[in-house]
Amino acid sequence: MRVNRFQSTARPSETRAQQEVRPSAPTPAADSLPTELDCLKGYFADSFEPAGAPEVLRQTKEVNCGAAVVTMLSQKAGKDPVSAAQHMDTLESRFTDGRGTDPKELARMLAFEGIEVKKGTANFDMSSVNDALARGEKAVVQVDTNRLATGVDTKVAGDSHWIVVDGKDDQGNYVVKDTGNGSKYAVSGQQLADSVGSAWELHRGGGMLVVGDAAKDADANALAEQSAQRTEALGNTDGGGSRARLSFGRESS
């Protein structure tokens, strides 16, 4: 007789009195079982903090991530949803044409809020980011959303999108604040570097800006122009899209 190795057996002398067997729970119907798409959605939901986490603002339009990032970094803007939304609208209407935010426009937004672009690079320069974080500064990074969300080189564009890097976790990954869905998560430096590379390949622009508080006596106009000049390496592609698509459908940026 073949014995199932996962099933225990007992000798006759070890047999115990039969216990009452309770009916098992009913098997769920096939149509009530989670689909593969449900599992994927659950994975993304479990990987991020709930939308609307107090320290991460959520953009209010598909293309205003630049204004959302600057509002989140600003010491002047209110962070409650109504004040934040009004501040995003003000920045967007003052500095952009409403179709996204290119690097120079972002630099001028930042200067308007008293934040200086210290350095701009066409890649995700981990050494510069580490030095900036040690000084209490942050990096604003322009990436392709599909590559950032999946880590896979699909060769299919998501959106050109601005995110904030403002720390590292215990494993050495970079902490990202993403206004696309108001979430905070950690990714490797390599994945950020690859996401910037995909932004160049698929959107013809991308990179990172190291940003920090400007001098209190800085002339606003001079600060804006100096900061804008430091964005030359990133190109002039608008960043605006709010999220990657599970279907990897291309969107204009």
User: Quick one: pLDDT at residue 100?
Assistant: 96
Output the CA–CA distances (angstroms, integers) from residue 132 to 138, 143, 215, 242, 247, in the order listed: 6, 19, 16, 26, 36
Instruction: Measure the CA angle with vertex 106, ends 184 and 149; round to 5°.
Output: 35
The series of mean pLDDT values per 10 residues for the chain, 253 residues long, is: 41 44 50 47 42 73 96 94 96 97 98 98 98 98 96 93 97 97 96 98 97 94 97 95 42 29
User: What CATH number is given for 50-234 in this structure?
Assistant: 3.90.70.30
Taken in order 214, 215, 218, 222, is the CA torsion positive or negative? Answer: negative
Tokens of 230: 């430091």
Ordered by start, the domain boundaries in the chain are 50-234
By the 8 A CB rule, do 204 and 237 touch? Answer: yes
User: Quick one: pLDDT at residue 250?
Assistant: 30
User: Quick one: pLDDT at residue 29?
Assistant: 52
How far apart, in whole angstroms, are the C-alpha atoms of residue 63 and residue 61?
5
